[in-house]
Structure 1
Amino acid sequence: MKEWFVCKIKYQKQDEKGSVKNVNEPYLVDAMSYTEAEARIYEELSKLIQGEFIVSNISKSNISDVFFYDDADIWHKCKITYSVADDESGKEKKITNYMLVSAANVQEAYDRIHQSLNNMLVTFRVPSIIESPIVEIFPYVSEADREPEIPENLKSMDEMEDQE
């Protein structure tokens, strides 16, 4: 099961007008521990943020799943509820999960969460959807799944095949 951590980052950001202001932005990282979350966020953001930044806070998130769509960069936090029967008592038990979905607006987020969860065997409800302040999400990618970096003096096999 994935463990998501919210990492708040403080740094100086230049806006469109050219003025510099201090910001504190939240990012979501998939990690196994606080230590790994901190290491991963420093690794990921050192590629994106020019200049110095500091991790001001790391906390476990209540997010159970993330659904990413390429055409939107606004994250919406969806509250999902459903009922299951308790094995011991036989009573109905209400389960609540929180999920993030990328969408341009709340209606699109609602449609996408339904599309993403259409294979659930239980009937679920979506009692709330709010726009999340999360700037970006960094899921865990194993070394086997990463694209290998190719040195500048070499070409990839795809480029070699294209030349033939």
Structure 2
Amino acid sequence: MSWFECKVTYEKEIAESGKVQKVHEYYLVDALTFTEAEERMSGEMENRGPFRLDSVKKVNYSETFFNNGQLFYKAKVGFIQLDEKNGVEKKKYTYMLVQANDFRDALEELEKQMKTTLADWTVASIAETQLVDAFRYEAPEAKPAEAQ
């Protein structure tokens, strides 16, 4: 599976003021293709009234760590590798997504998840994203065989 970031525009009631306002929100969808991502995002949004799917773009997260946090953080992690030709250490960077309540929780969750990694690694950066939610793929339930 791949991750796709979807930008959606729709009208939403703002809790503090009670006013209806047009909002732009970003969601993450687990899908195989752009078409599937668009279809799944449309399914998630259909109960919220009229909406517009503004963009769908593929994002490269090598790992995703979900929990009950309210925010999503993009972590840039560098893995230290030895270039055997030159005998020099190089860093290969990859991106990971961490769900957490704040920056400190994101760093702690990332460190906890990376404890089992045998490779040497460092955190180059962690930044809060604009993601509102992530929709992971769930296999459809098997239908029971009909009685003969």
Task: Place the TM-score, normalised by the shorter chain, in its bin.
Answer: 0.7 to 0.9
Greater share of strand = 2
1:70-101 C-alpha deviation (Å, 9 max, x unpaired): 2x111111111112235777654421111111
**Which residues in structure 2 correspond to 1:51-90 (within 5 Å)?**
51-70=49-68, 72-86=69-83
2-structure distance, mates of 1:87, 1:29: 39
Runs of 4+ with deviation above 3 angstroms: 85-93
Q: How many residues align?
A: 142
Query: Which residue in the other structure is 2:146 paired with?
Result: none
2-structure distance, mates of 1:134, 1:107: 18
**Which residues in structure 2 correspond to 1:37-116 (within 5 Å)?**
37-47=37-47, 49=48, 51-70=49-68, 72-86=69-83, 92-116=89-113
Taking a change above 3 Å as real, the CA distance of residues 88 and 60 of structure 1, as seen in their structure-2 partners, is farther
TM-score (norm 2): 0.86
- Give the match's secondary structure for 2:132: coil
**Which residues in structure 2 correspond to 1:1-164 (within 5 Å)?**
2-16=1-15, 17-47=17-47, 49=48, 51-70=49-68, 72-86=69-83, 92-143=89-140, 146=141
Where structure 1 has 5 or more consecutive residues not aligned to the other structure, the ranges are 149-164
> Matched residues, percent identical?
35
TM-score (norm 1): 0.78
CA shift, 1:56, in A, is: 0.5
Tell me the C-alpha RMSD between the 2 structures.
1.9
Where structure 2 has 5 or more consecutive residues not aligned to the other structure, the ranges are 144-148
2-structure distance, mates of 1:32, 1:86: 34
2-structure distance, mates of 1:19, 1:105: 28
